[in-house]
Amino acid sequence: QAGVNLVIASPAVLSAVLRSQPDDTAHRIEGSVIVAGGPLSAKLRDLLLLRLCRDVFVAYGSSEAGGVTLAKAEILDEGAGSVGAAFPDVELQVVDDDGHLLPPGEIGRVRIRTDSCVRSYIHDPVATARHFSDGWFYPGDTGRLSAGGALTLARR
């Protein structure tokens, strides 16, 4: 009724929206939902497709680095935590605690580098040292990259 064609929200907000709606599809939108700000489960994805929208996408990124990935939520069928491959202008790596690249499938620390990524936190050298090193941003997430470059988050 309102002409909504795109919703961007966290899994928590989307769950609340679904709880507040009747079980029918009278309130569906003719567009897509982008889920960001938390892990999307296959169960919630399926409920969104059934009751709210025609397409669901999962996004991964941060305030510091911006958008990193965007994938159709079918990627969750490859495994919980899957968020897709990095955008072309984003370098995405998984490394061990010493900063060495890990082979595909190995779980380690996620690090991100972009031309637009911030390089430090203002007036917070402790947090800067924890999250930034040699031009890389370490968001604090762990995950693994597939041979094709798709990221699966293990822990946020």
CA gap 53, 58 in Å, rounded: 14
47-101, pLDDT tens digit by residue? 999 999 999 999 999 999 999 999 999 999 999 999 999 999 999 999 999 999 9
Give per-residue pLDDT as tens, 100-141: 999 999 999 999 999 999 999 999 999 999 999 999 999 999
Which two tokens mark 55?
Answer: 């397409």
Partners of 67 in beta bridges: 61
Tokens 């491959």 locate to: 85
Write the CB contacts of 28 (distance below 8 Å, at least 6 apart in sequence).
Answer: 51, 52, 53, 54
Describe the crossing of helices 42-51 and 11-20 by its angle, rounded to 10 degrees. Answer: 40
Among left, alpha and beta (phi > 0; psi -120 to 50; other), residue 120 is beta
Which helix H or strand E contains 19, and what residues bound it?
helix 11-20
Give CA–CA dist 29/83, Å, rounded. Answer: 23
